[in-house]
Structure 1
Amino acid sequence: MQEVYHPKNKVRIVTAAALFDGHDASINIMRRIIQATGCEVIHLGHDKSVEDVVNTAIQEDANAIAMTSYQGGHNEYFKYMYDLLQEKGAGHIRIVGGGGGVILPSEIKELMEYGITRLYSPDDGRELGLQGMINDMVEKSDFPTGTLELPEGKDVYQSLKDKDITTIARLISLAENREDDFFKAFDYNKVENKSAPVLGITGTGGAGKSSMVDELVRRFLIDFPEKTIALVSVDPSKKKTGGALLGDRIRMNSINNPRVYMRSLATRQSNLALSKYVEEAIQVLKAAQYDLIILETSGIGQSDTEILDHSDASLYIMTPEFGAATQLEKIDMLDFADIVAINKFDKRGALDALRDVKKQYQRNHNLWDVNPDEMPVFGTIASQFNDPGTNQLYKSIIDKVVEKTGADLTSTFEITKEMSEKIFVIPPSRTRYLSEIAENNRGYDTKVVTQKEVAQKLYGFFKTIETLSGKMPAITSHGIEITGTDNTDLVKVLLAEFDKLKMNLDPFNWEVITTWDEKVNKYKNPVYAFKVRDKEIKIQTHSESLSHLQIPKIALPKYEAWGDILRWVLQENVPGEFPFTSGLYPFKREGEDPTRMFAGEGGPERTNRRFHYVSKGMPAKRLSTAFDSVTLYGNDPGHRPDIYGKIGNAGVSICCLDDAKKLYSGFDLSHAATSVSMTINGPAPMLLGFFMNAAIDQNCEKYIKENGLEAETEAKIKAIYEDKGLERPRYNGDLPEGNDGLGLMLLGVTGDLVLPADIYAEIKKNTLAQVRGTVQADILKEDQAQNTCIFSTEFALRLMGDVQEYFINQNVRNFYSVSISGYHIAEAGANPITQLAFTLANGFTYVEYYLSRGMDINAFGPNLSFFFSNGIDPEYAVIGRVARRIWAKALKNKYGANERAQMLKYHIQTSGRSLHAQEIDFNDIRTTLQALYAIYDNCNSLHTNAYDEAITTPTEESVRRAMAIQLIINKELGLAKNENPIQGSFIIEELTDLVEEAVLQEFDRITERGGVLGAMETMYQRSKIQEESLYYETLKHNGTFPIIGVNTFLSSKGSPTVVPAEVIRATEEEKQFQIKTKEHLHHTKAEEEKVLLEKVQEIAIQNGNIFEALMDVTKVCSLGQITDALFKVGGQYRRNM
């Protein structure tokens, strides 16, 4: 146990993960240890800009900022942070951070020489341990704060009046730390204007006070464009350590505004809801002449009424879950609160709670002559964007503040009389859907067992009759028959008993038995014929080995007993038949291996070159795209350093339609052998719009060439740009080998500008029906595991539903509207069962949501796909077959879906988590074993990771090796010539049953928490993933779980962490070109942009199909513009602790 450093001063540290970085697991661990070391931690969460972090540190008068940065761009990020602190006169604030192996030793040295206090490397972690690193960080930050340095020529009162943030922050610190010095520096009696009204907000813990404050601030800023607001938020200190988690900021999106000041205070005493320095803080803010001050308490439920001593008006926030109505008599604040909000009004019993609280308020305030319905008690859902109840509450609060203080706050905020009503993603009557699926599937399994027993007894009768009669009974569709009339009485009795028992067998199951021999013979024949979408396909059923043996592509069991045959068909079956355990199609597609070609770096041109390199000579082009973090968070490239450093790093930079055209140029996006996968989630609808329009314009280009319209089109484009006096967009650099330029003719324009409307409409219709590919777009797993949510959850799900609805209406049959991803759940630390259970649960949630929107399951089912990770654990050997079986049983028997919708299609990627930065050459061995699992389990597509991805962006050489792994398995490995090699294995069947039941048990656990969305509210999924991650890391660390070259079988040098010889990053030229592309777009399309952005906002407000509008908007607007426009009508994602 490491010794803990005890700070001599009250140390305040701001913690966060860098901009466009969702990797918050490390900073969460760090902030817990920092707090336990006795510090006050202001935690901001992930995806925080330098300006947000620096402004917070200054407002909070922090000693230090502790950051993690795992997504690249750290050089620019940390230097910009240092420069901004210096510029704002806060150079005393220490900066510490880390980023695993992402930050190279040479960069750590450079950044620390620049002025960063300390950056910790993985080797530091091994040497010092977690507590040792925190001790070092806290010791470096252990100095007194609150030293008052006034702007030149101004006294403290003028500085406050000018709202000098440093003065405000340090005065409050002075009050907290050196009260005598505070009163020497500041005399409240000398303040001229003390009229700022104070709104006190208190309530029970977990009532959603932080979210409510954020919503009130948002409305205030809209309502009063010139006014300012200050917040004081109080959280409890830990009695044992003196540390405190000041976590309100993480829930607030509206406070990053120059008109808002926020200060978080720790109580610095136990069992009290307020800091004893609250009054001084309020005095300082009144002297700064803020127009409204909000004081929010920690809500520990012991002394809520204490807030009344410091506020002019008060709001009490509670939830409907207070128990019996008599409990209300015990709540002191109902005697004193001016207004009451019953938040989380979507909870069960909310309407009864509203009635009871209104009556209690009436009694407590002796308002007997007023109708209870007119009591100032409001039902609210603060977490829901633009909630009508919260609108009413806000208006009532402002009116009450004006009434009690005469403040100059005349609200013009428009409200409706609607009551808060949850916009349910899943109707309340359907919250048991996962347990219903579990019951359905278990019911099916039980029926299989009973039917198998009936079939086995029938087979016993059959063999007995055969033996006693001396004849082979004929098996017919009705039963069995024996020719002749010389049967003994016993045989006749047995035949009668057979017929009687057969009545207990399902007719379908009898047909399975009677057609078994026919099925076996079909696979023995040299050629097998089957149909896919009315097209007949003929396949050779055997391949010849070098030893001239005929190796069957599908091997069937040699069962004779009917019960064994029936159980096998109902639970296993051949590939291509329900329940699809062994595969979706009778045979694998010939001439198209499941290899995905993964790329993403720099600008679109560089990734285009990589795509052409990795697909050279391949019959099918299966392009898989990784985007940079700027794109992943729906932003545009820009010059600001914390953005600039991330452009084109760890993925490709794409911000507009022209980028998409260049990215996929030279690939025919409508060809049956081309498919494109896009790993994008939050802004997925916009990237999908770019892609679809790029594909449409490719076909417009083909039409232009086929009809000899090149000169005419060229003249039209030239005229458009000459009129505006601007250069035409171009591909940056030479075209790579294999790129014929398809898709580049219409750079800067779209097909509808150069072709007649009817021709364009026909091309668009045909293109949408032809394109093949996948967009990830799985917002549920983002909230649970990965953190690239950008919109509020409800709005993000609505966008997903709009995309699917558009796909149905436009006959988009070959493109998946979502890739329901377990990969990122596994990468965050989940074990294979949790990965599978959470992923399938998310999939069924989308099914329920789309059904609730009136979509037909047979129309949307084929547009759903899945994405799994493949590790080395035993459960990974069966992850695909279990997924297919659970999905097929549920879709067929629970939802009544057709065969195509029953087929769970999935992409699989070898585990990134199993790539280790020690002995990196060993990673290819792990990847090979994982690829073998995937191919044997009949995955639909596969990506094999490069061995060096543990330390850097993979090189062309390492990518080629990774692709060779699966090519060698598919082309050279003899057993892989068989397409169901694991079927029939005792351990595989046992594992399949064990994993299937474990998944169904997890479904029941999720149901107990209100379904997937209910479980997300309590962070069940995220907590479970983190627990499993910690379990693995603990076993890895102590050596209980052996990892070759990491904790055992180490080299003579101890297998140190490998540092890459070179790191592949975007060049300055690429970054500048991307910014220039965006700026050029805005100059060219300025007029159209404004009109279309307003149009998409209007459609969103009117509940129209947003994606239909995005198909037009993405022709002219940049990604960041669209994201900002949708924030205003759909709300931003609210981070969780």
Structure 2
Amino acid sequence: MEQQIPYNPKNKVRIVTAASLFDGHDAAINIMRRIIQSTGVEVIHLGHDRSVEEVVNTAIQEDANAIAMTSYQGGHNEYFKYMYDLLHEKGAGHIKIFGGGGGVILPSEIAELQDYGITRIYSPDDGRSLGLQGMINDLVEQSDYPIGDKLNGEIDHIENKIPTAIARLISAAENFPEIAKPVFDQIHTNNTNSKIPVLGITGTGGAGKSSLVDELVRRFLIDFPEKTIGLISVDPSKRKTGGALLGDRIRMNAINNPRVYMRSLATRQSNLALSKYVAEAIQVLKAAKYDLIILETSGIGQSDTEIMDHSDVSLYVMTPEFGAATQLEKIDMLDFADLVALNKFDKRGALDAIRDVKKQYQRNHNLWDKNPDEMPVFGTIASQFNDPGMNTLYKAIMDKIVEKTASELKSTFQITKEMSEKIFVIPPHRTRYLSEIAENNRSYDEIALSQQKVAQKLYGIFKTIESVSGKIPQINKAGIDDSTVLPSATEAHDENRIFLNLLLNQFDKVKMDLDPYNWEIILNWDEKVAKYKNPVYSFKVRDKEIKIATHSESLSHLQIPKIALPKYEAWGDILRWNLQENVPGEFPFASGLYPFKREGEDPSRMFAGEGGPERTNKRFHYVSAGLPAKRLSTAFDSVTLYGNDPDIRPDIYGKIGNAGVSICCLDDAKKLYSGFDLVHALTSVSMTINGPAPMLLGFFMNAAIDQQCEYYIKANDLEKEVEAKINKIYKEKGTERPRYQGDLPEGNNGLGLMLLGVTGDQVLPLDVYNEIKVKTLSQVRGTVQADILKEDQAQNTCIFSTEFALRLMGDVQEYFITKNVRNFYSVSISGYHIAEAGANPITQLAFTLSNGFTYVEYYLSRGMNINDFGPNLSFFFSNGVDPEYSVIGRVARKIWAKAMKNKYGANERAQMLKYHIQTSGRSLHAQEIDFNDIRTTLQALYAIYDNCNSLHTNAYDEAITTPTEESVRRAMAIQLIINKELGLAKNENPIQGSFIIEELTDLVESAVLQEFDRITERGGVLGAMETMYQRSKIQEESLYYETLKHNGDFPIVGVNTFLSSKGSPTVIPAEVIRATEEEKQYQITMLDNLHQFHEAKVNEHLNKLQEAAIKNENLFDHLMEATKVCSLGQITSALFEVGGQYRRNM
């Protein structure tokens, strides 16, 4: 495709960009907003997970020409229509709406939305025909119209703080200053006696000004419940294109409040920190009678003093990383600023830096009579929730405003005297942990190689002795038994004896360089080989002996070994193979964790989630019918993924039960898993949930406990008594008891439904209930994803601040140790979503393992024992068709085992990296969808040959819709055919011994360790996240793949090559599975009933939860109780107040 020329807009065009509510897919909108910006547009970027109200309010306050949205999580019909309606309702119907969502938005829906009034929804075929720049050209051209050229009495409405009027006046000043001049003359006259204070904030780029401003606004709104605040934020324009990225809003959580108005301005001139029209914007906000105005400038260097012309009080924001103390003499603002914030106070050298800044401030202001410690310089960590330094800074700012302007803003905000102190997740002295692991593993490989050479040399001497003596030497722990090779007195040949003695002495000398453990390996090799040739192999798992047949018989009556061993004879080869490969079940676990696969339990795990809990329960029973092992993977709808409750608000309502199941309370969890015994050894539940994972885990655990209470009730003939108790409880409350909607599916015996609406402790004696609870927790099997680091790096379903989210993870793991939860994984450290966001297989593996080791370091820093928590960690990878995917599991197992054993001293169980793998969603294409099953089959083959612990095969139609029963059955059949029909799959280590597999293993392992070093250079995983290293790398790799796919350099059959006669257009699904109106309404009704039923108890539980957070008690202990009565949204909101909300990054 030819290079397209960007459209050149005639007017100053402003566009708001964002991803829709509960939608973390921000890669596409990030690419789009970059191209929009380079086309000469001022872009106000909001990032992912934005409600209609937030986007509409932003577009109105910013007086945007258009809104450009992506929506990949369903609910788009309601979302876009609600946006259109809200814009018209708020008098901003002129703002154009553009959208896209890949194959998620059907052509019929595109037509419906465009008929409704949405300007344009772009389809994948539009992308193919127009190209990215072509689409953006179309969008910008349609948005290219003047704003502010016609004023219509706006001045009469600004005192009422009407956002459209305020916004239009600022636009008029920016775009048509001559037309606006008479109006502004009047505004200046009206403002002559205005006493409204202006706080000017400036500082270097990257100092964290946006986060700091947001924290000031949050405190102001709490401090003054009746006051209002106006913000003007200035960012630089691009000299070449005239475009600008106005990105301050993305970092702000507090501004979507009716008492806050914010306007972003581009400088529209180079080398200046302010727009020409800042003065006019301030005058408009003063005329609107905002109680406080904050002006924040773009950070463009050391000279930002022009802000002094516009502000009453000035704050300079900097970081400790300014270099030598002499650099401070060059910063003009230190001469003029009323206050200085040394933000990012957690950086190395912060204490020295604040001392130097205070001394420089003292010198600049000639304050020799005061102690340097009294200077108005404050260490802050704005990114940390409820930071003491921010509290102190806020109070000092408000005091200074009152002192200098005599305004009525006397703060009563309560502060403590403590300094900002970073709550370290990883102790500072441990930040090199990844490089230490890399060094440890490389050292292991070097030692293994040197030991191999020693063993090979020994074997050479051994064979020489055999050749010279004519006898086979016998070996034992001490070495060679001399008597088996030296000639006897009757057959003495002095020369031979002398030579053999020399050889034996040399053998003993060389053997001193061989580790006794490695000599044992050589000694026991023949015995090991013999064990696998015996018809039956026995081994122990948790003190239980398991016997397994070592061969299977083919139709040709050949005995096919389940484990094939190499026919090596040379000791160096044998030792190298044992140290770097080994049999399944033995360190370093290259070929698998257990000696043999468990019979009767194929690794298949099927993913389901749609509509309400009843519909997904039916799907679970359908996909597991006839299978001895019930492995249930749960997909949650986006409302649940973001910790919210179902609601009638259109942008929420449209997403209830779409692309996942709606679960918002304990009763939902009981219905979802009803009919499956959650503590049975062959039942395992996986929950793909991250931000609100602890709450969903609480629902699940309580559902499992209540199931076992049911067994007790039935075993003791207490059904009638319990039923009477429940009916009495509901009669007294006067509310309807929850029920399972519809008929039970085949295979559902109703287990889990007896105690709907109540919990076991309400109907059974407390001692009995507690006994059941203890037993259940020790037996329940499953996994909760809960990987918050990966969410920040790739998938974006973070809801809490990172530190608080990690604390919750640690609390869950601590609870698991205390309560002896041995069979449930507290986290599934996930590379799948890193790969889905665009990472290549090496980056996926490196980032996933580095996240895993970060959890290890964090849990160790909390005092947990590695052998206690190690077995509760699991992993989750994606499997594409790239060559590296053929070894992803074996490399992961090797790196993990070497580090856990030799670096951390973990026991064997903690050394085992257990992983689930899923075929790549990214390789599912919306063109020629039948070809997707071919790709999935090849990926499944990779996974099974690499001995994965469990596998999910995607359905071929998932690129265009929620999978149907037919497509799910085909996906299941892929695994079943490989496991049951494919002859080579009867062998359990089929890729061992392949030259290319060994070469790839070494290459990938080396590449991962190199990535560990790169992450260390950036301060470890959390340090790298601060500079968005992982996110940037993922996006670069995604763009590389998309570029090659787009230009055809990377051939994809049916997509860019081997096209059908019709050009392989995007396939439109014949059947689209969406939640029904009935399901959505029932979820809302049921939630209302729950809130009404538990009204008296909810606040008590939420208060206890918040107190536990403040007192640093284990939160999951309290969540286990709160989840019995509170809904998901209630708990999320309560925890926001004590743990802070996640702050988005650009």
Among candidates 151, 166, 169, match of residue 168 of structure 1: 166
Amino acid at match of 1:1045: G
- Alpha-carbon separation, structure 2, partners of 1:405 and 1:93: 39
Is residue 506 of structure 2 the alignment partner of residue 497 of structure 1? Answer: yes
- Alpha-carbon separation, structure 2, partners of 1:184 and 1:110: 45
Q: Deviations over 1:839-881 (max 9, x none)?
A: 0011001000100111000000000000000011111111000
Q: What's 2:925 paired with?
A: 916
Q: What's 2:30 paired with?
A: 28
Is residue 1128 of structure 2 the alignment partner of residue 1119 of structure 1? Answer: yes
| Inter-CA distance 176–685: structure 2 relative to 1 (3 Å threshold) | same
Q: Deviations over 1:675-731 (max 9, x none)?
A: 000000111011000000000000011111111111111111111110011110001
Is residue 179 of structure 2 the alignment partner of residue 181 of structure 1? Answer: yes
Q: How does 1:987-1006 map to 2 (within 5 A)?
A: 987-1006=996-1015
- Runs (4+) of structure 1 exceeding 6 A deviation are none
TM-score (norm 1): 0.99
- Alpha-carbon separation, structure 2, partners of 1:491 and 1:130: 78
Among candidates 45, 49, 52, match of residue 51 of structure 2: 49
Q: What's 2:775 paired with?
A: 766
Deviation at 1:407, TM superposition (A): 1.0
Deviation at 1:166, TM superposition (A): 1.2
- Alpha-carbon separation, structure 2, partners of 1:668 and 1:302: 66
Deviation at 1:565, TM superposition (A): 0.5
Is residue 84 of structure 2 the alignment partner of residue 75 of structure 1? Answer: no
Answer yes or no: is the 8 Å Cα contact 1:272–1:302 preserved in 2. Answer: no
Q: What's 2:86 paired with?
A: 84
- Alpha-carbon separation, structure 1, partners of 2:525 and 2:393: 69
- Alpha-carbon separation, structure 1, partners of 2:639 and 2:1070: 26
Q: What's 1:553 paired with?
A: 562
Is residue 1033 of structure 2 the alignment partner of residue 1019 of structure 1? Answer: no
Q: What's 1:14 paired with?
A: 16
- Alpha-carbon separation, structure 2, partners of 1:121 and 1:651: 23
Deviation at 1:3, TM superposition (A): 2.3
Answer yes or no: is the 8 Å Cα contact 1:803–1:1107 preserved in 2. Answer: yes
Deviation at 1:190, TM superposition (A): 2.4
Q: How does 1:183-582 map to 2 (within 5 A)?
A: 183-186=181-184, 187=186, 188-191=188-191, 194-301=194-301, 303-483=303-483, 485-486=488-489, 488-582=497-591
Among candidates 971, 979, 987, match of residue 980 of structure 2: 971
Amino acid at match of 1:326: T
Is residue 638 of structure 2 the alignment partner of residue 636 of structure 1? Answer: no
Amino acid at match of 1:608: N
- Alpha-carbon separation, structure 2, partners of 1:962 and 1:161: 63
- Alpha-carbon separation, structure 1, partners of 2:175 and 2:1058: 54
- Alpha-carbon separation, structure 2, partners of 1:513 and 1:716: 68
3-state secondary structure, aligned to 2:49: strand
3-state secondary structure, aligned to 1:46: coil
Q: Deviations over 1:797-816 (max 9, x none)?
A: 11111111110011000000
- Alpha-carbon separation, structure 1, partners of 2:587 and 2:131: 53
Answer yes or no: is the 8 Å Cα contact 1:61–1:146 preserved in 2. Answer: no
Deviation at 1:302, TM superposition (A): 5.7
- Alpha-carbon separation, structure 2, partners of 1:1102 and 1:1057: 55
Answer yes or no: is the 8 Å Cα contact 2:205–2:300 preserved in 1. Answer: yes
Q: Deviations over 1:727-772 (max 9, x none)?
A: 1000111100000000000000011111111111111100100110
- Alpha-carbon separation, structure 2, partners of 1:279 and 1:1047: 54
Answer yes or no: is the 8 Å Cα contact 2:339–2:376 preserved in 1. Answer: yes
Answer yes or no: is the 8 Å Cα contact 1:149–1:167 preserved in 2. Answer: no
Deviation at 1:470, TM superposition (A): 2.1
- Alpha-carbon separation, structure 2, partners of 1:70 and 1:231: 32
Answer yes or no: is the 8 Å Cα contact 1:198–1:295 preserved in 2. Answer: yes
Deviation at 1:183, TM superposition (A): 2.8
Answer yes or no: is the 8 Å Cα contact 1:156–1:185 preserved in 2. Answer: no
3-state secondary structure, aligned to 2:157: helix
- Alpha-carbon separation, structure 1, partners of 2:476 and 2:951: 44
Answer yes or no: is the 8 Å Cα contact 1:255–1:262 preserved in 2. Answer: yes
3-state secondary structure, aligned to 2:874: strand
- Alpha-carbon separation, structure 1, partners of 2:1049 and 2:668: 49
Deviation at 1:1083, TM superposition (A): 0.3
Q: How does 1:626-775 map to 2 (within 5 A)?
A: 626-775=635-784
TM-score (norm 2): 0.98
Amino acid at match of 1:176: E
- Alpha-carbon separation, structure 2, partners of 1:891 and 1:640: 49
Deviation at 1:157, TM superposition (A): 5.3
3-state secondary structure, aligned to 1:145: coil
Answer yes or no: is the 8 Å Cα contact 1:12–1:39 preserved in 2. Answer: yes
Answer yes or no: is the 8 Å Cα contact 1:471–1:482 preserved in 2. Answer: no
Q: How does 1:1082-1097 map to 2 (within 5 A)?
A: 1082-1097=1091-1106
Q: How does 1:822-901 map to 2 (within 5 A)?
A: 822-901=831-910
- Alpha-carbon separation, structure 2, partners of 1:248 and 1:300: 15
Q: What's 1:145 paired with?
A: 147
Answer yes or no: is the 8 Å Cα contact 1:598–1:943 preserved in 2. Answer: yes
Deviation at 1:1038, TM superposition (A): 1.7
Deviation at 1:905, TM superposition (A): 0.1
- Alpha-carbon separation, structure 2, partners of 1:875 and 1:563: 27
Deviation at 1:242, TM superposition (A): 1.1
- Alpha-carbon separation, structure 1, partners of 2:336 and 2:725: 72
Q: CA RMSD in A?
A: 1.0
| Inter-CA distance 1083–31: structure 2 relative to 1 (3 Å threshold) | same
Is residue 154 of structure 2 the alignment partner of residue 116 of structure 1? Answer: no
- Alpha-carbon separation, structure 2, partners of 1:667 and 1:239: 63
Answer yes or no: is the 8 Å Cα contact 1:63–1:141 preserved in 2. Answer: yes
Deviation at 1:156, TM superposition (A): 5.0
- Alpha-carbon separation, structure 2, partners of 1:648 and 1:744: 21
- Alpha-carbon separation, structure 2, partners of 1:989 and 1:38: 51
Deviation at 1:193, TM superposition (A): 5.9
- Alpha-carbon separation, structure 2, partners of 1:871 and 1:279: 56
- Alpha-carbon separation, structure 1, partners of 2:240 and 2:559: 74
Amino acid at match of 1:801: G
- Alpha-carbon separation, structure 2, partners of 1:467 and 1:5: 84
Answer yes or no: is the 8 Å Cα contact 2:154–2:169 preserved in 1. Answer: no
Amino acid at match of 1:160: I
Deviation at 1:181, TM superposition (A): 2.6
Amino acid at match of 2:473: P
Is residue 1016 of structure 2 the alignment partner of residue 1007 of structure 1? Answer: yes
Amino acid at match of 1:161: E
Answer yes or no: is the 8 Å Cα contact 2:656–2:1075 preserved in 1. Answer: yes
Q: What's 1:61 paired with?
A: 63
Answer yes or no: is the 8 Å Cα contact 2:155–2:165 preserved in 1. Answer: no
Q: What's 1:1040 paired with?
A: 1049
- Alpha-carbon separation, structure 2, partners of 1:32 and 1:1038: 20
Q: Deviations over 1:864-900 (max 9, x none)?
A: 0000000111111110000000000000000000000
3-state secondary structure, aligned to 2:167: helix
Amino acid at match of 2:655: K
Answer yes or no: is the 8 Å Cα contact 1:193–1:287 preserved in 2. Answer: no
Amino acid at match of 2:327: Q
Q: Deviations over 1:1081-1136 (max 9, x none)?
A: 10000111111001101100111111111001111111111111111111111111
Answer yes or no: is the 8 Å Cα contact 1:193–1:286 preserved in 2. Answer: no
- Alpha-carbon separation, structure 2, partners of 1:542 and 1:2: 62
Deviates more, 1:130-139 or 1:759-768: 130-139
Q: Alignment length, in residue pairs?
A: 1133
Among candidates 1083, 1093, 1118, match of residue 1109 of structure 1: 1118
Answer yes or no: is the 8 Å Cα contact 1:148–1:170 preserved in 2. Answer: no
